[in-house]
Structure 1
Amino acid sequence: MSERLRPRDVAFLAAESPSTPMHNATVEVFDPGESGFDHDRLLRLIEERISFVPRYRQRIRTVPGRLANPVWVDDEHFDLAYHVRRSALPRPGSLDQLRELVARIVSRPLDRSRPLWEMYFVEGLADGRVALLSKSHQVLVDGVHTVDLGQVLLDTSPEPKELGADEWRPGRPASAPALLLEAARDTALHPRTALDTVRSRAGSLLRSADAASRRTSRVVGGLAGHDPERETPINGPLSQQRWVLAVRTELADHRAVSRVHGSTVNDVVLATVAGALRAWLMSRPDSSRELRQIRALAPVSVIDEEREATSLGSQIAPHFVDLPVGEPSPVVRLHQVSYSFLAHRETGRGVAANRLAGIAGFAPATFHAIGSRVAAEELRRGFQLCVTNVPGPQSPLYAAGARMVRTYPVPPLLPGHGLAIGVTSYDGGVYYGLTADRALLPDADLLVPCLREALDELVDTTSGARPRAPRGRTPGGRSARSGGSSKSSGSSGSSKAGERS
């Protein structure tokens, strides 16, 4: 029996357009060393492990007449070589050249007639390094039934686990009459199927009406000299082209700031983003330098039985924070961000960063994908930026014996959002990945030096300073607000975004 898409997945498909492809991506750079890691070895590695993520060999079939939601079916013509592609940069390829290649690839939507993912093996980087670009649709990686393929490809030691290719055979293809019969049976036996179909159709009508309303608002706003979608310089109509930006920083710097100011690594990340946005806005000639706040959604990991469970041991919840881009002091910016998370940390539902980082496989890619789903579902809440920050393992990982030396998330852009930021900590580094609309933010590349400078500003405040207790706690480790006992600061974090890593 085929598995039917849920209303939220149908909504993701309906919301996709040429200017807003709904896929997540990750760029990983490897040092092959003596491993012999090449395109053919990558193909064999995926053949050995794709059975752990069977949905990567399934595609979406629409039910005739749309009598029920679409279903996942085995792709009877599945071709691994189509999905795992080979590319190259002119030697010696630079990180900037890699970013340009990635930007072109992620600007293109995935082919819906096939399983919704692609992977590119990029050769030609300087020092003999290679890169993997993985690209998966938001409906594919939900953390419930499917994790990101990259999570099962990486090992904790240079000696890869030889599993052997599985003997997979696609299921018998379903005919149109069979899909209709199955839809009728599901509707009769499972009332939820009919309810899901109604919800999907209602959602489609609402999205159509909402899109018409936005078009009308743009016309009326344009006549009045005001475009309601451009409340900030990072919001507005999107093009089909992207910037992809990447910044590597040191985890030790984030931890030093966290320790001195009694905050968390997640707070430092968001304060760094706020400082970078402030510097970037100040460099622009328009009135955007007068902007005081940018409302951001920062998904967090929680233990909440009322939310949908994931296979990663926690649920992902939205958390909204006003980034104080109008505040000139880096310390005040950090304290304001930290205070916004105080109430959340004191709920006791948070999941420690070290627990997230210890999940088998390289889970950050999966967490970023789930965070993007949460952001898409909360789009009506009126935020202007999504920042997903995920703690990863602090020891090296390997693919077929090749050591992963860098990893950058490439988050998708939401409709009307010209910028999205993903952050991953791994093996002593904190990697910022930014996706920006190339037409709406033609100067987005200035955000790279702005991020470095914003972090340097925070690091400069630690010179000669004494460490403080985590915000909201006394030095003895008890809650300053309630006076009750609490967990140590090393395990009190609640952010998918990497509390203390």
Structure 2
Amino acid sequence: MEHLNTLDAGFLEAEDSDRHISLAVGGLSIIEGSVPDSQALLAGIAERIEKLPRSKQVLRTHALDLNPPEWVEDETFDIAHHIHRAALPQPGDDKTLFRFTAEVMERRLDRDRPLWECWIIEGLENGRWALLMKIHHCIADGIATMHMFSGLSDEGGGANYANEIRAAKEKHDDSTGRKLNLNPLSWVGTVRNLTATATSTALLAFEGAIEVAGGLLSPGAQSSLIGPVSSMRRISCARVDLADVNKICEAFDVTLNDVALAAITDSFRAALVRRGEQPRRNSLRTLVPVSIRSPDAVGITDNRVSLMLPFLPVDKEDPEEQLRTVHRRLTRAKSSGQREAGSVALAAANIVPFPFTAWAIRALTKLPQRGVVTLATNVPGPRKRLRVMGREVVQVVPIPPIALQLRTGIAILSYADELVFGITGDFDTAWDVDDLAKGIEAAVARLVASATRNDEHRGG
């Protein structure tokens, strides 16, 4: 039997802290062509899903949290409880599809059964159909979830952008595989190097811990973007060409994540102005999850993330200045130890007796935090378009959850030649998620225009 680690179990505790939230993540695949034969489709999807980890397992909890929850086989498993069909009313456009998706995602998964659902959605405009996969966040983080979603395709996955994340590029300790050096004179140097490395890492993590704690405990500017949420959701989506994003990256010597967060910055600035609020330097502290998943752990179903908590510069009006500021702040956050602090904290929590960590997480998640305003998570997706039952998956939209008083959350997914921003908002207080999506697309377009002008200036 496998137990949940502290972070996995934390998503259950966070969900329990607020009856209005559901901490499931979703992937909406829009597929070209007509829906396959009903029986063949159900059989094909069922066969692929049953191969996924956790698809036939339920959580078993223990009284008084004496031990962490553990995965056990569901002896009464019936796939009919998990695969559903629905048909959209006409015209079957994006607005109708996203409204239905929001209704599915806002409902909690039944913990007496395996924590996933799959919806086959018919009636989309232009003769298309869709698959909506919904999985509880306690099972996996964004990268592992996307790996599972890709496993439903005809290709069974394939090449993706996961190898471009920082954790995948870093060298991992291979000390266990080194040959033993029998020269005693070399041992002193080895011990000295290991001690120095451990000390510098500990100091970096300590500095990062101070910054993370300050970000979580220090309230930001008063904003309608943060506060209690209802049990209903709104969903929208922005799509931009990866070629345009890469052009911006080359022109300004920044990363894809910098461009995505700069576009989000500009759109949130417009949202604050639209709501009659003054964008300030401390208006948009953002939770940016950072993967610590190594390449050989892509297919392991669990959560392996740390975090950064930068302020996005909504106080700045010029798009280029926003981009450069985002780049500087993320560069500083990456070197400040915030990422290392999260990793160390999670590692430490995993060796503390579970009753204590469960109590602490439960207490913390019930506190009305005022420091973090929104979530922006970047998920690397497949490099090439996938196919399901011989039909091409033309679009994939990531669906993030919202919790802990965050009224909006954005998941950024690279799929084939697109960068897709899936936006989840509280139904009552984030009424302008469509405007937020349009603002992201407009911000990227302005940066492309700036990049083109820079190229022309250099060329002239």
Q: TM-score, normalised by structure 1?
A: 0.66
SS in 2 for 1:248: strand
Equivalent in the alignment of 2:241: 250
1:140: Cα distance to partner? 2.0
CA contact (8 A) 1:232 1:288 kept: no
Matches within 5 A, 1:52-201: 52-63=51-62, 67-141=66-140, 149-156=148-155
The aligned amino acid for 2:314 is V
SS in 2 for 1:19: coil
The aligned amino acid for 1:425 is S
CA deviations over 1:79-125 (Å, ceiling 9, x no partner): 11220100011244101100010111111111111111111100001
Counterpart check, 1:459 vs 2:448: yes
Structure 1 431/145 Cα, relative in aligned 2: closer, same or farther at 3 Å?
A: closer
Matches within 5 A, 1:348-387: 382-387=371-376
CA contact (8 A) 1:84 1:120 kept: yes
Equivalent in the alignment of 2:216: none
Equivalent in the alignment of 1:11: 10
CA contact (8 A) 2:220 2:372 kept: no
CA contact (8 A) 1:57 1:78 kept: yes
CA contact (8 A) 1:230 1:236 kept: no
1:464: Cα distance to partner? 3.1
CA deviations over 1:276-325 (Å, ceiling 9, x no partner): 1111111123x3445654111222334789xx966469953312221100
Equivalent in the alignment of 2:412: 423
- Separation of aligned partners in 1, 2:299 and 2:446: 39
Q: Which structure has the highest helix share of the two?
A: 2
The aligned amino acid for 2:112 is S
Q: Which runs of 5+ in 1 are unaligned?
A: 159-227, 351-375, 470-501
Q: Which runs of 5+ in 2 are unaligned?
A: 158-218, 340-364
Structure 1 290/142 Cα, relative in aligned 2: closer, same or farther at 3 Å?
A: closer
Equivalent in the alignment of 1:273: 264
Equivalent in the alignment of 1:489: none
The aligned amino acid for 2:255 is T
Q: 2:274 aligns with which of 267, 276, 283?
A: 283
CA deviations over 1:404-438 (Å, ceiling 9, x no partner): 00111110002110010011121211111100011
CA deviations over 1:16-45 (Å, ceiling 9, x no partner): 133111111111100136xx6355334222
- Separation of aligned partners in 2, 1:263 and 1:229: 27
Matches within 5 A, 1:267-416: 267-285=258-276, 287-290=277-280, 293-302=283-292, 311=299, 316-343=305-332, 382-416=371-405
Equivalent in the alignment of 1:25: 26
CA contact (8 A) 1:413 1:436 kept: yes
CA contact (8 A) 1:155 1:399 kept: yes
Structure 1 467/339 Cα, relative in aligned 2: closer, same or farther at 3 Å?
A: farther
- Separation of aligned partners in 1, 2:293 and 2:69: 31
CA contact (8 A) 1:32 1:401 kept: no
- Separation of aligned partners in 1, 2:226 and 2:333: 27
CA contact (8 A) 2:269 2:314 kept: yes
Structure 1 265/120 Cα, relative in aligned 2: closer, same or farther at 3 Å?
A: same
CA contact (8 A) 1:229 1:416 kept: no
1:58: Cα distance to partner? 1.0
- Separation of aligned partners in 2, 1:256 and 1:229: 34
Structure 1 419/39 Cα, relative in aligned 2: closer, same or farther at 3 Å?
A: farther
1:270: Cα distance to partner? 0.5
Equivalent in the alignment of 1:433: 422
- Separation of aligned partners in 1, 2:233 and 2:156: 35
Structure 1 417/144 Cα, relative in aligned 2: closer, same or farther at 3 Å?
A: closer
Structure 1 250/24 Cα, relative in aligned 2: closer, same or farther at 3 Å?
A: same
CA deviations over 1:353-372 (Å, ceiling 9, x no partner): xxxxxxxxxxxxxxxxxxxx
- Separation of aligned partners in 2, 1:92 and 1:144: 33
Structure 1 411/39 Cα, relative in aligned 2: closer, same or farther at 3 Å?
A: farther
Counterpart check, 1:233 vs 2:233: no
SS in 1 for 2:286: strand
Q: TM-score, normalised by structure 2?
A: 0.71
- Separation of aligned partners in 1, 2:370 and 2:299: 27
- Separation of aligned partners in 2, 1:415 and 1:346: 27
CA deviations over 1:124-169 (Å, ceiling 9, x no partner): 01121111111111112258998764131123499xxxxxxxxxxx
- C-alpha root-mean-square deviation of aligned residues, in Å? 3.6
SS in 2 for 1:386: strand
Matches within 5 A, 1:39-54: 39-54=38-53
The aligned amino acid for 1:406 is Q
CA contact (8 A) 2:87 2:121 kept: yes
**Identity in percent:** 32
- Separation of aligned partners in 1, 2:431 and 2:94: 19
Aligned residue pair count: 369
CA contact (8 A) 2:29 2:131 kept: yes
CA contact (8 A) 1:3 1:72 kept: yes
1:239: Cα distance to partner? 0.6
1:385: Cα distance to partner? 1.4
- Separation of aligned partners in 2, 1:90 and 1:435: 22
The aligned amino acid for 1:18 is R
- Separation of aligned partners in 2, 1:431 and 1:53: 25
1:62: Cα distance to partner? 3.0
SS in 2 for 1:412: coil
Structure 1 302/466 Cα, relative in aligned 2: closer, same or farther at 3 Å?
A: farther
- Separation of aligned partners in 2, 1:80 and 1:293: 45
Greater CA drift, 418-427 or 453-462:
453-462
SS in 1 for 2:231: coil
- Separation of aligned partners in 2, 1:53 and 1:454: 38
CA contact (8 A) 1:244 1:435 kept: yes
Higher relative contact order (CA 8 A, sep 6+): 2
Equivalent in the alignment of 1:447: 436
SS in 2 for 1:85: strand
